Amino acid sequence: MKKVLVLCTGNSCRSQIAEGYLRHFAGNKAEIYSAGIETHGVNPKAIEVMKRDGIDLSAHTSNNINEYMDIDFDFVITVCDNAKESCPYFPSNAVKLHHNFPDPAKATGNDEQVMDKFCEVRDLIKEYAKKFAEDYLV
């Protein structure tokens, strides 16, 4: 079974959303993990925006990359430039992929405007995760 790690700065929004969608689209074809260079806790707005699309992140935890150093990943996906630049060396043959998604946690405005940004980023990540599963987890 393939092992996939999604990596971002704080493992609070983008990597959590990607983990949720990759689990959804991969089914039983892969084990999906997410982590951050740091841990910031799972953002409640990420949980809410995924709930709106039928995916429950409420039991997710924010994990540090160091927790997974002993796992031989097949794929490491960085979802922000900071994580790509700061990603520690993995002693494996993991295929490294990168896509810089906007950080919805930095959205400003009223509650509706902030949630609109979360929805926008969620939809971008959903599309990416679906394509990744179709291309790499067949």
Please give the positions annotated as active site: 8, 80, 87
Residues 12 and 44: their CA atoms lie apart, in Å, by: 9
SS3 95: strand
Residues 10 and 99: their CA atoms lie apart, in Å, by: 16
Residues 38 and 10: their CA atoms lie apart, in Å, by: 5
- Report in angstroms the alpha-carbon separations of 15 from 3, 109, 110, 112: 15, 23, 24, 22
